Copies of this chain bind each other. A is one copy, B any other.
């Protein structure tokens, strides 16, 4: 209700002076500044961000596009984004865009077109060429988490190398009969994550002189997804591998549950390794390649805000490290009864 004009009147100065005093831009004597601030406090003045952004073009808000909320990686990223933005005085508009959302076009054409944000962070969304163009035309900086996006600084882990490392861990333990359970590139448009992890797996296998044919099984990227796949895969003792590289910890958990249910001992009869560093990994004693989604979120915010500061300082893409944490879900294979 109270406008800056009221503050100015109460402090006995002009609107312009009050604005300068409160925003800290331009010359104001210490004395008047105090007077204005006191007046503002007295009537409980809060600046209208609408009016301010109308003229400055700055909204102090960042838009976030994300395909999932409840999956661990995404939830974690979201929390860290929110946190980091809050500290910097930005709030966050959330656009949840599941892979096959019917609202997808509306989000781009209507919501994002309103430009009620200073920048966008896109988390694990596979953007079409057209959508990338669309975003570029908005004239707002864009930072991506995951996957390369044309002309956009992104933050990611090296999926190929991480998958390779995970597979090599199994190989180094002496496993030869290894299977990869991961996401399918077709039904989930979850970027290149799936295909990159598959490629890393295959690279490691081939380098070890092993065949990769028939070594990949698709699963939904969830614990039940891993569980279902595990029951089907491990049910037949003759075709059972000695080790599985799961593309995510949640899949790995499901596989472990399936194994337990079938009376297969982990790791004695079956080794399992995942990727993520999910907080439940400790409970499942899962060996995994941990990535740090919170670090990715924080870095994304830092890069975006830096780009907001220096118009056009095109930042480069960053690859964040992963680290192998060995727990009790992997061991050397049992001597095979031949």
Contacts and interface: CB of A to CB of B under 8 A. Distances in A.
A224 B284 CA distance: 9
Interface in A72-112: 72, 75-76, 78-79, 82-83, 86-87, 89, 91-96, 103, 106-107, 110-111
Interface stretch (A45-53, A235-243, A328-336): A45-53
State the number of copies, please.
2
Interface stretch (A27-35, A167-175, A202-210, A275-283): A275-283
Determine the main DSSP class of A at the interface with B. Answer: helix
A95 B50 CA distance: 19
Interface string A216-256: 00000001100100000000000000000000000000100
Contacts of A92: 93-94
A83 B70 contact: no
Contacts of A111: 86, 91
Interface of A: 46-51, 53-54, 59, 61, 69-70, 72, 75-76, 78-79, 82-83, 86-87, 89, 91-96, 103, 106-107, 110-111, 113-116, 223-224, 227, 254, 257, 260, 279-280, 282-283
